[in-house]
Amino acid sequence: MPDLTRRRYPERQDCWHVYYGDVHVGTIAIRAGVPFDVDQWGWDCGFYPPSHHGRQVQGTAETFEQARVDFEAAWKKYLPKCSQADFDEYRRSVAWTSWKYAMWGKGCRMRVGGNDGRRRVERCRRALCGHFVG
């Protein structure tokens, strides 16, 4: 079973993404726009697709260390509700999004169209590797 790891979010020095293996399962960060007399740190625990079923957990803490401890406790309760299919769906979603933006970067756009009432996707004629795709 993978351990939780943290990676600093590149654009912010006060934000960490939390990973379970290769799956981004949460965030710990300074809360923006809150008064100084309330908890300054916030955390979110959850990932797509389980989070879309109302299973995302959030909290606040006074310090980063307390946010980290609270996040880990929430993750221990969250993980048993996740199936291998949830992790596989996350990976498929990440792969699809990566492929989509790579295709867009090559000038390929996928358009949904058709006025016959059915959705029709006009795909790019060539995949990134140059093979004909239809």
pLDDT digits (tens, 9 = 90+) for 49-79: 877 777 899 999 999 999 999 999 999 999 9
Print burial letters for 9-38: b (CB count within 10 Å at least 16), e (below 16). Answer: eeeeeeebbbbbeebebbbbbeeeeeeeee
pLDDT digits (tens, 9 = 90+) for 66-122: 999 999 999 999 999 999 999 999 999 999 899 888 888 888 766 655 555 444 444
pLDDT digits (tens, 9 = 90+) for 12-31: 889 999 999 999 999 999 99
pTM exceeds 0.85, yes or no: no
Q: What is the DSSP string of the chain?
A: -PPEEEEE-TT-TTEEEEEETTEEEEEEEEPTT--TTS--EEEEE--TTGGGGTT-EEEEESSHHHHHHHHHHHHHHHGGG--HHHHHHHHHHHHHHHHHHHHHHTT---EEE-SSSS-EEE--SB-TTS-B--
Q: Where are the domains of the chain?
A: 1-121
Which pLDDT belongs to residue 129? Answer: 53
For residue 128, give Cα distances in angstroms to 14, 54, 96, 101, 122. Answer: 37, 37, 13, 11, 16
